[in-house]
Amino acid sequence: MSPAISDFSDADERLVAGILEQRYGKPVRPERAEAELALDPAREAMTLCPTLYWSERGAQFVVCKVGEGEYRCQFFYGDADHYGTGRETYDDLALCVRTLLQVQADHERVSAGVSAGATSADLRNDVYDGPPVL
């Protein structure tokens, strides 16, 4: 069995709550939970990992502590609709949470049909193939 991973500290939880309040413009308190993860792909053993969980704007988020100063994260909408950030682990909790929120916001925009990265040249009527831009 893998050695236990220490829980998130109160300071960690306050850091995450502060980032969430900045993102959503209201207090959002992450809940403490545990996730069972396979940390070593060469072994079948699962490890209980301290986790911070919250739900906002139809998405659910988890940040799992997988070692001292090491974090994994993802957001999801349902059982078959999970997304990561494209990075396996982070050694900075704030960067982990901010990146997770940015990736989810980008996903939300794309799902709504909003083109991220469009320039004014892209939106000119002679270039843009959609309805007239006012």
| pLDDT of res. 101 | 97
3-state secondary structure of 59: strand
Give residue 118's pLDDT. 55
Average pLDDT of the chain is 86
pLDDT of 127 higher than 80: no
Pairwise CA distance, residues 81 & 75, whole Å? 9
Structure-token pair, residue 40: 């070593």
pTM exceeds 0.85 for this model? no
Greatest Cα-to-Cα distance within the chain, rounded to the nearest angstrom: 64
Q: What is the mean pLDDT of residues 82-111?
A: 94
DSSP 130: S
Q: How confident is the model at residue 130 (pLDDT cuts 50, 70, 90)?
A: very low
109 vs 118, residue with greater confidence: 109
| pLDDT tens string 32-87 | 999 999 888 788 889 999 999 999 999 999 999 999 999 999 999 988 889 999 99
**Averaged pLDDT, 20-25:** 97
Q: What is the pLDDT of residue 72?
A: 96
Q: Is the pLDDT of residue 117 over 60?
A: no
pLDDT at 2 over 70: no
d(CA 85, CA 68): 20
> Rounded to a whole number, what is the distance in angstroms from the first to the last CA of the chain?
63
* 3-class secondary structure per residue, 52-64: EEEEECCEEEEEE
Q: Map out the domains of the chain as residue ranges.
A: 10-123
C-alpha 30/C-alpha 52 separation (Å) is: 6
